[in-house]
Structure 1
Amino acid sequence: MDIRFATRKGVGAENEDAAAAGPGWAFAVDGATEPPDADTGCRHGVRWLVGRLSAALAAELGAASGRPPAEGGGSLPELLAAAIGRVRREHGPGCDLSRPDSPSAALAAVRAVPGGLEYLVLADCAVLLPVPGGPPRMITDDRIDRLPGGRPYPRELVRSMRNRPGGFWVAGADPRAAHEAVTGVRPGGGRFGLLTDGCTRLAEHFGYGWAEVWELLDGAGPAALIDRVRAEERDRPGAVRGKPHDDATALVGAFAPAAPERRFPRG
């Protein structure tokens, strides 16, 4: 397994991103920063959710490692749903998780499966898959960008459309959201990248092509990619709506191919 990652705090007091990897799996999580006046109904913060969700998903992926979905290993949506269910139980009775402002996160994950690479994206993280001779394939969940009325969205619109059919879905307190994620399998596996939206702004706001983003990520490395983001933010402060510096996490790598079965002579 060859995995490199970097993460860096934005303007908030804490880094609400996280990343993790293990044998045959990797993911990045981007916590949704709460507005100062958010009525979350929850005694826990976004950082708590990101940490617990990361630990729960790593446990689910680790337990399923080496067992493909057809043999009881579970698909990525099933494993994420189980992880969200674990975290929901950890909240305890003091949290009203029915409120739309309860803590939530975006997420991108990949997992080695027989014959390919399974991926999942929920909300505005991204998976990058290189393509020989061309720009990488960029997979994201853009439903947050297709809400009615256009940006900037009113707060009440976002609240009313979060984790609702016809709206957008995030990892929070509802395990059903996992089954609404963007998913697929890339045949053959190969290298991959995972980015939170603090890194995708290189392409989405600063005009970089995805080929340039991939070259930075896989060539110079995740930390260098984040350095480039910060440099662009300093040099062009009006190019990004919202936070001048967001939490930024980038991960790149590949999983080792499955080892062939070894047969030993008798005797």
Structure 2
Amino acid sequence: MEFATEPGDPAKPNEDFIAAGPTTLVLLDGCGTPVGSPSGCIHSVAWYVGRLGLELFTRASTDHERTLTDCLADAITATAAQHADTCDLDHPGTPSATVIVARQVAEQLEYLVLADSTLAIETPDGIQVITDDREGQVGNKYRGPMDAAAAGTAEHVAAHRAYVEAMRAHRNQPGGFWVAATNPAAAAEALTGTIPLNKVQGITALSDGASRAVDRFELTDWQGALDILRQQGPEALIAQVRAAEQADPDGSRWPRGKAQDDATAAWCQSRPI
């Protein structure tokens, strides 16, 4: 297992979370509110993802009798209880996170993906790419003004805030998109599955700040990204993303909400059984 993580802005906390053990990998990408937009919570997004990540990793790695869906629901409930007395957990801007979990149980690899982080599983039949694109589908109808404004300008800041606030009406709602926040029912909306362990050659987990290399910037395809991870390491993939971001600081070539985003990449090669 190799992984690397880097904040989009060195002056701000990294809102990604990653933890790995002998059988389990957990990656979260925190989601918050833009400056000037209320959240109802006194805590930072980094605070939230740190606690949710630890709750989820502990459960998923130690209690193999519970499904990954149940582990995530339990972790959401336990994290909500840690700030229920101080924060408005019903506020639509409360901190949230995307989720990836991959876990070995006996002869199977179990996985769970919620929201727009990406899990890629290498098998003899090719690369199985699992990502939950419901947020992107909903967001397409709102992102026009944000994409039209140059990143870093007052117009882009205002358009990004309007985009985030418009998306709140669809978050954790039927017909919308789902993230881990305070409602454990979101766990049941995750994409889940199993693959026989003897078919798994490797797994890759990417927050959307790292998957930009493929799904937004198109610097390479999925096979190319996995080759970079295998041959050069996760730091090299993130470095390519950073170079592309810095070459397009105003988002004119690649319109995006954040000029630079937190980026996390993890790669694991399976050992023969």
TM-score normalised according to structure 1 size: 0.87
The alignment status of 1:163 with 2:163, answered yes or no, reads no
Look up the match of 1:209.
221
Distance 2:255 2:164 in 1: 19
Look up the match of 1:94.
86
**Where do 1:191-206 residues align within 5 Å?**
191-206=202-217
Look up the match of 1:235.
247
- Structure 1 or 2, whichever has the larger Rg, is 1
Look up the match of 2:133.
142
Report the residue type matching 2:240 in the other structure.
R
**Where do 1:96-115 residues align within 5 Å?**
96-115=88-107
Contact 1:27–1:107 (CA under 8 A) maintained in structure 2? yes
Distance 2:139 2:236 in 1: 36
**Where do 1:35-74 residues align within 5 Å?**
35-64=34-63, 67=64, 73-74=65-66
Q: Which runs of 5+ in 2 are unaligned?
A: 145-162
Q: Which runs of 5+ in 1 are unaligned?
A: 68-72, 259-267
Q: How many residues align?
A: 248
2:82 aligned counterpart, secondary structure: helix
1:147 aligned counterpart, secondary structure: helix
Look up the match of 1:172.
181
Distance 1:150 1:211 in 2: 31
Distance 1:242 1:10 in 2: 12
Look up the match of 1:152.
143
2:60 aligned counterpart, secondary structure: helix
The alignment status of 1:16 with 2:11, answered yes or no, reads no
Report the residue type matching 1:230 in the other structure.
R
CA-based RMSD = 1.9
Report the residue type matching 1:140 in the other structure.
T
Per-residue CA deviation, residues 40-74 of structure 1 (Å, 9 max, x unaligned), is: 1111110110110111112112321xx4xxxxx21
Contact 1:23–1:255 (CA under 8 A) maintained in structure 2? no
Distance 2:207 2:109 in 1: 19
Q: Which among 225, 228, 235 is matched to residue 237 of structure 2?
A: 225
Indicate the larger mover: 151-160 or 180-189: 151-160
Per-residue CA deviation, residues 102-144 of structure 1 (Å, 9 max, x unaligned), is: 010111110112332111111110101124474x221100000
Per-residue CA deviation, residues 186-225 of structure 1 (Å, 9 max, x unaligned), is: 2234310000000111112221211111111222111111
Report the residue type matching 1:9 in the other structure.
P
Distance 1:133 1:185 in 2: 15
Give, in angstroms, the shift of residue 100 of structure 1: 1.0
Give, in angstroms, the shift of residue 243 of structure 1: 1.3
Report the residue type matching 2:242 in the other structure.
R
In structure 2, relative to structure 1, the CA distance for the partners of 1:222 and 1:45 (3 Å cut) is same
Contact 1:31–1:106 (CA under 8 A) maintained in structure 2? yes
Indicate the larger mover: 249-258 or 18-27: 249-258
Q: Which among 74, 83, 97 is matched to residue 75 of structure 2?
A: 83
Contact 1:24–1:255 (CA under 8 A) maintained in structure 2? no
Give, in angstroms, the shift of residue 86 of structure 1: 0.8
Report the residue type matching 1:105 in the other structure.
A
Q: Which among 1, 5, 17 is matched to residue 7 of structure 1?
A: 5
Look up the match of 1:126.
118
Per-residue CA deviation, residues 68-88 of structure 1 (Å, 9 max, x unaligned), is: xxxxx2111111111111101
Look up the match of 2:27.
28
In structure 2, relative to structure 1, the CA distance for the partners of 1:149 and 1:57 (3 Å cut) is closer
Contact 2:32–2:94 (CA under 8 A) maintained in structure 1? no
Contact 2:123–2:202 (CA under 8 A) maintained in structure 1? no
Q: Work out the percentage of aligned pairs sharing the same amino acid.
A: 40
Distance 1:45 1:98 in 2: 16
Report the residue type matching 2:135 in the other structure.
I
Report the residue type matching 1:116 in the other structure.
Q
Give, in angstroms, the shift of residue 14 of structure 1: 1.0
Report the residue type matching 1:46 in the other structure.
V
1:10 aligned counterpart, secondary structure: coil
